[in-house]
């Protein structure tokens, strides 16, 4: 059967763990008459078939790697849209070299991720999971009392004061934390506008903070930003929370620090080389791990999909694109 000459957009979902909607109702509504939309399951760009390679735009779920070799094969693509905040899975330079803008959706899960960061922080500070386990053993011994912390007056350190970092900072203030942040890219005066304190170095942030919450993208600059050296700067009573990208933290160094008691605990929604690979990793003491789900809510997923569809529609129509992260202009 002959394919329609109408432009088409392809939504690429991860075949190992699909979370998209094959019915594509949100995407179809957002694209309207500008283009048809199709749903394809892939593990990587090695799985791209002719319909993917001939698409006018790609909407990409999860962290499916879109590498230079895959980008080189795209024939009509006017935008690659990451269905989420992070874009480290897409070769930005290869896209720019081909004149293909890479876009993301940076604001769809701001509330959810900030809420999740605070939830992990509270669970660690108030020892919710050990208390839950004790109560469900039909016991009532307060074995973790020495680990429980009063929140008011403690220092909540935010690494990266972007949309989500600022939302987390404001939530922490509401709980009575003193909030400090480190972000070398934030303009002077933001601290005054938000009512938080700025520090000049990562080391100062880590030494000051009782809870350190990471809110920065994964780039060459931030890969393994937290290793054994940085963990050694933290207080033995401090907690590390990561709802950003797993590879910001060198996993082996963090788990060693937890086993050796160099820090008091960690709450991770993301893990380097996720998911956890071994039972020994899962047995790491004072560790809470959730399933890269901080972004997730019914509302956030609908908002994300609608934004991606809107960007794809603009790409098909040759209009200005939102949230371009690689500096490219559509061909």
**Options 292, 305, 310, 313, the catalytic residue:** 292
**Whether the Cβ atoms of residue 14 and residue 43 lie closer than 8 Å to each other:** yes
Cα–Cα dist 325/194, whole Å: 26
For residue 45, give the DSSP letter. G
274 is catalytic: yes
Residue 106 and residue 85: Cα distance in Å, rounded?
4
Rounded to an integer, what distance in angstroms lies between the CA atom of residue 251 and that of residue 68?
27
Does residue 292 carry a catalytic annotation? yes
Choose, from 38, 134, 274, 281, the residue flagged as catalytic: 274
Q: What angle do CA 194, 247, 207 make, to 5 degrees?
A: 50
Active-site annotation holder among 245, 305, 310, 313: 245
User: Where does residue 174 rank: exposed (0-12), middle (13-18), buried (19+ CB within 10 A)?
Assistant: exposed
Token digits of residue 230: 């940085």
End-to-end Cα distance, the chain: 30
Residue 323 to residue 311: CA distance in whole angstroms: 9
Residues in contact with 283: Cβ distance below 8 Å, sequence separation at least 6, in sequence order: none
Active site residue 245: yes
Q: How far is CA 272 from CA 51, 116, 249, in A?
A: 32, 18, 7
Give me the active site residues, please: 245, 274, 292
């Amino acid at each position: 059967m002959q394919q329609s000459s109408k432009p088409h957009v392809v939504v690429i979902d991860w075949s190992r763990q699909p979370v998209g909607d094959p019915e594509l109702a949100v995407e179809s509504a957002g694209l309207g008459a500008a283009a048809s939309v199709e749903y394809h399951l892939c593990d990587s760009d090695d799985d791209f078939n002719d319909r993917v390679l001939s698409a006018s735009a790609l909407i990409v779920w999860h962290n499916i790697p879109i590498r230079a070799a895959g980008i080189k094969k795209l024939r009509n693509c006017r935008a690659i849209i990451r269905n989420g905040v992070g874009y480290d899975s897409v070769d930005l330079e290869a896209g720019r070299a081909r004149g293909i803008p890479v876009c993301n959706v940076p604001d769809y899960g701001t509330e959810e991720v900030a809420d999740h960061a605070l939830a992990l922080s509270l669970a660690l500070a108030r020892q919710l999971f050990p208390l839950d386990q004790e109560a469900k053993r039909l016991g009532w011994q307060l074995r973790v009392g020495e680990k429980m912390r009063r929140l008011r007056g403690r220092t909540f350190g935010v690494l990266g004061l972007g949309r989500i970092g600022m939302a987390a900072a404001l939530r922490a203030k509401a709980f009575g934390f003193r909030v400090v942040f480190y972000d070398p890219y934030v303009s002077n005066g933001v601290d005054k506008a938000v009512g938080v304190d700025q520090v000049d170095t990562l080391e100062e942030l880590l030494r000051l903070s009782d809870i350190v919450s990471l809110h920065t993208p994964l780039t060459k600059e931030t890969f393994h930003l937290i290793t054994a050296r940085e963990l050694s700067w933290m207080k033995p009573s401090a907690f590390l929370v990561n709802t950003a990208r797993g590879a910001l933290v060198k996993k082996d160094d963090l788990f060693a620090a937890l086993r050796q008691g160099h820090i008091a605990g960690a709450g991770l929604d993301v893990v380097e080389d996720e998911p956890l690979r071994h039972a020994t990793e899962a047995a790491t003491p004072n560790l809470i791990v959730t399933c890269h789900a901080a972004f997730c809510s019914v509302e956030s997923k609908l908002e994300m999909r609608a934004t991606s569809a809107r960007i794809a529609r603009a790409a098909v129509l040759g209009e200005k694109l939102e949230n371009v992260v690689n500096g490219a202009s559509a061909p």
